[in-house]
Structure 1
Amino acid sequence: MNSIISFLKNRRILILGFGIEGRSTLQFIEKYIPDTDVAIADRNPLPLENYKDKYPVFSGDDYLKDALLQYNDLVIKSPGIKMNAENLNDVEVASQTDLFLRSYADITIGVTGTKGKSTTASLVYHLLKSAGRNVFLAGNIGLPVFDIVPLLDKNSIVAFELSAHQLQRIHRSPHVGVFINLFEEHLDYFGTFQAYKEAKYNIFRYMKEGDIAVTNDSIASFIENKSINVVDYNSLDISLNKDLLPFRGEHNIKDAKAALCACKAMGEDVDKMLPYIYTFRPLQHRQEFVGTFHGVSFYNDSISTIPQTAVAALETIPDVTFLLLGGLDRDVDYSFLVNYLVANPVKYVLYIGKAGKRIFEELVNASYKGIMLHYDTMEEAFNIIKSYASPGDVCLLSPAAASYDRYVNFQERGTLFKNLATKF
């Protein structure tokens, strides 16, 4: 912790982005270096209301330009704010992730991947916790790392979920890096798939000799650092009773293998860890069975924001009758999903948003044989389902698109779906 404090001490700091992580940064500074000159910047003025009497705050359309005129010594950036925004490339920019890994990489299992990183990081945490290890869960699915730092000792382990946004401009990779899979995603932020991939590969790029990369063959082939140990999670030979597993789908088996390999890298015996897999509680909004109401079964897979996850859900959940697709269009290639649906038609495809419209048009061009219906709200979708559903039908929300055009996040979208399902 002292190295982080030393880095921040005697600096004029701009906290850029004032969500969960930004507030965590401020709390850390207030507690450990309270005399620091700090300002807060966020486009949205609402989070800043309670702080403007104590700190300089910047909000509105020109918030960053105005802030950097006065605070250009050090910026602590929250994930998701583009690095090319305004003059951000002309100042020193750090992040909680970057500063944490500089000091605590040796006790960190970092987990990334386009999909499955939350489940895998949570599995790592659950397995190690069950084995009696002093483990913490950090990242989007856990706590901000600055909240964890005061609690760490030499025997601690941190399971750290890492998005591409968090991996940008880090200077040290975790001792154990887990990279599950890689698909097109976040093109609205990164601009190109190549830029997105480059950010993801930072999980291995700054490893030291003896560090461990847990991944698959296709990702491993691009690893440039030859001094590290590479483990293919697909090669892990284990026997799992699928009837007792708390999750379904081959993708979840891969997540479990990756988690076990990460635990092994931290000195655990895989065979002794296997029973703990069965006591894991799956995360919400991931092929989550909501229940059966008036004979219709509902599954919430709101986490699905790319075509590959929608296909995975369709392959895992049998006999889907209603498929809810669409949302924010991020220019992702939908041919994989379209080709799958043409070969495996769902009776009713309900679509929403610009992404849904594009999927609809591509399905029409591909002579799709199912019935396609447009909806503007989740309530309207359920009215449509009520009009056509029969006992024994299965309804799946697996949008293959981001939620931000209508909802705060995928959790809000999934929760609304679940609430409406229980009232069906």
Structure 2
Amino acid sequence: MIPVQGYSGQRVGVLGLGRSGLTSARALREGGAVPLCWDDNPAAREAAASEGFEIVELGKAGAMDGLACLIVSPGIPHLYPNPNPVIRAAMVAGVPVDNDISLFFGSFATSEWDNLDVVPKIVAVTGSNGKSTTSALIHHVLKSVGRNTQLAGNIGRGVLDIDPAADGDVVVLELSSYQTDLARNLTPDIAVFTNLSPDHLDRHNGMGGYFAAKRRLFAEGGPDRAIVGIDEDEGLYLAGQLSQTAADDRVIRISVEQKLTGPGWQVFAKKGFLSEYRKGRQVGSIDLRPIKGLPGVHNHQNACAAYAVCRTLGLAPKVIEQGFASFGGLPHRSQIIAEAGGVTYVNDSKATNVDAAAKALSAFKNIRWICGGLEKEGGLEALQSATGDVRKAYVIGREAANFAMQLGSVEAEVCTSMEKAVKQAMAEVEEGDTVLLAPAAASFDQYDSFEKRGEHFADLVKAALAE
């Protein structure tokens, strides 16, 4: 655990007692602070009370008196669509509002670092899609070469729950827009921006606010090295803002849509081949096509970002390639769960928005596509250009009929349930087909999480194949 520095003897409010909230309370107490905890869920309050934490209704009159700050869990809105009443009360009272990510950045470095031979580094990864795979891939490659490394944030452990830094440690953080938007301290050594597509627009009041939340990791954090995907205008703009000149190699531009050969430092992938260029000359390359854990263009973008980070950390291209080759991929992200009778079954339940689903569709051929769920803002129009390899769609979710109507020329069957969708798809498959779960929607109309949705799909497929 990382004891929180700077609040010893002070009262600190903790709003939201899920994983990040409880961990924040523990880390605050470990650092000598006095956490005052609250959650609207009685079970969460009971769990915190059982660990000896003081439970205080932070929304009541006078609750903000004497608080040094208020630590907020990422799922609680602080501005849009409306501030949570407790957060509003803190702002009115002038109490600083912060989160666990900020506490981590303010507490990870200690005086004990003076005794380390190699100063630890923090790699922070953000973007709309590919954050988890990119973070896990960096972590995997570092582990494969024996580097001390920890994985935390939206993936792995909570940021304050990791171990204190070891000599030469590299902490890899996956950070969502909810986390970067509020954190008062953001100081990564290396920051990664994968891509941007519409998501969480209600929480950020539109695309401008969403991009601004991601941009804070770079503008506020001032990383020594920035790795930026430039296949969207926002990334192109961000890379330009961070560069002093075209040859400024503190910014590494990455792409899967164009060859990059300018005077700076670039990494791009075309037709399955990753290339690294510096000062207009190629200095490294990897054939990504045989790597089963990184299928499709979207994973090639993740590979470009991870490669750039590992090169910044001093790894040679061949060493990185060996690490990539042993990467098995992540659950629910283009995860091959079975191959039988010439048919491949793929779980990409993490494709919760249109852009992620389009990228999954582009990675496979002859697709029996299971899609649908809680539709996000923006509609499904952006999927139209990605459905060329879809043989048929099997639509799930409470609003399956409306979802199916938006799929244009794609043959679609309204199934509503995952059970019926899997049964129909498996009844109609032919050799060479791919049964792909890529919902292009959130899971919360039928499941507690995208993980539960993906696990249900995988269980149904495996049970049917075992019959």
TM over 0.5, shorter chain:
yes
In structure 2, distance between residues paired with 1:381 and 1:140: 30
Q: Shift of residue 47 of structure 1?
A: 2.4
Equivalent of 1:97, from 97, 101, 106? 101
* Coordinate RMSD, CA, aligned: 2.7
Q: Distance in 1 between matches of 2:340 and 2:20?
A: 39
Match for 2:189 among 168, 172, 175? 175
SS of 1:221's partner is helix
Q: 1:162 aligns with which of 153, 175, 178?
A: 175
Aligned equivalent of 1:406, options 416, 441, 446: 446
Structure 1 340/358 Cα, relative in aligned 2: closer, same or farther at 3 Å?
A: farther
SS where residue 152 of structure 1 aligns? coil
What does the per-residue CA deviation read over 1:222-271, in whole Å, with 9 as the maximum and x for residues that have no partner?
Answer: 35345682111343221225224532112212211211111222233333
Task: Kindly indicate whether the alpha-carbon contact (under 8 Å) linking 1:308 and 1:336 is maintained by their aligned counterparts in 2.
Answer: yes
- SS for the counterpart of 2:182 is coil
The correspondence of residues 65-104 of structure 1 with structure 2, limited to 5 A, is 65-66=59-60, 69=63, 72-83=67-78, 84-89=83-88, 90=91, 91-104=95-108
Query: CA–CA distance in 1 between the matches of 2:194 and 2:215?
Result: 12
**Any residues of structure 2 matched to 1:2-401 within 5 Å, and which?**
5-33=4-32, 36-52=33-49, 54-57=52-55, 65-66=59-60, 69=63, 72-83=67-78, 84-89=83-88, 90=91, 91-104=95-108, 107-148=121-162, 150-170=163-183, 171-208=185-222, 211-217=224-230, 218=233, 219-223=235-239, 224-226=241-243, 229-234=250-255, 235-236=266-267, 237=275, 238-240=285-287, 242-292=289-339, 296-320=343-367, 322-341=368-387, 344=388, 346-353=390-397, 356-363=400-407, 366=408, 368=409, 370-385=410-425, 388-390=428-430, 393-401=433-441
Q: Secondary structure at the match of 1:305?
A: coil
Aligned equivalents of 2:106, 2:138: Cα separation in 1? 22
Tell me how far 1:93 sits from its aligned partner.
Answer: 1.4
Note the C-alpha offset of 1:27.
2.4
| Partners of 1:255 and 1:337 in 2: CA distance | 21
Query: Is the 8 Å Cα contact of residues 214 and 258 (structure 1) preserved in structure 2?
Result: yes
Write the letter of the residue equivalent to 1:41: W
The one-character-per-residue Cα deviations of 1:142-197 (angstroms, maximum 9, x if unpaired) are 1112112x421452111111111110133333110011111101123223111111
TM (norm. structure 1) is 0.87
**Paired AA for residue 379 in structure 1:** E
Q: Report which of the two has the higher share of helix.
A: 1
Change (3 A) 1:337 1:42: same
TM-score (norm 2): 0.80
SS in 2 for 1:347: strand
Q: How many aligned residue pairs are there?
A: 408
Question: Could you say which structure has the greater relative contact order, defined with CA pairs below 8 angstroms and 6 or more residues apart?
Answer: 1
For 2:391, the aligned partner's letter is: K
Question: CA distance change for structure 1 residues 393 and 231 in 2, over 3 Å: closer, same or farther?
Answer: closer
Secondary structure, counterpart of 1:277 in structure 2: helix
Q: 1:87 to 1:21 in 2, by over 3 A?
A: closer
TM-aligned CA deviation for residue 285 of structure 1: 0.8
State how far apart, in whole Å, the 1-side matches of 2:39 and 2:396 are. Answer: 30
| Matched residue SS, 2:238 | coil
Conserved in 2, the CA contact under 8 Å of 1:28 and 1:146? yes
Q: 2:262 — aligned with what?
A: none
Structure 1 distance, partners of 2:419, 2:107, is 49
Question: Comparing 377-386 with 131-140, which one deviates more in the overlay?
Answer: 377-386
Secondary structure (helix, strand or coil) at the match of 2:413 reads strand
Rounded to whole Å, the distance in 1 between the matches of 2:463 and 2:342 is: 13
* Larger displacement relative to structure 2 (371-380 or 411-420): 371-380
Amino acid of the residue matched to residue 142 of structure 2? L
> How many Å separate the matches in 2 of 1:377 and 1:184?
26
Q: Quick one: structure 1 residues 172 and 287, their matched pair in 2 at CA, closer, same or farther if it must change by over 3 Å?
A: closer
Report the CA distance shift for 1:338/1:45 in structure 2 as closer, same or farther (over 3 A).
farther
Amino acid in the other structure paired with 2:24: T
Per the alignment, in what secondary structure is the counterpart of residue 128 of structure 1? helix
What CA deviation, in whole Å up to 9, does each residue of 1:380-408 have, x standing for no partner? 32343355445654321100111122211
Contact 1:41-1:67 at 8 Å conserved across structures: no
Q: Which amino acid aligns with 2:151?
A: L
Q: Matched residues in 1 for 2:357 and 2:25: separation?
A: 39
- The residue type paired with residue 39 of structure 1 is L
Structure 1 residues 355, 195: CA separation in 2 closer, same or farther (over 3 Å shift)?
Answer: farther
The whole-number CA distance in structure 2 between the counterparts of 1:417 and 1:68 is 49
Out of 175-184 and 91-100, give the one that drifted further. 91-100
Could you tell me which runs of 5 or more consecutive residues in structure 2 were left unpaired when the two chains were aligned: 110-119, 256-265, 268-274, 276-284
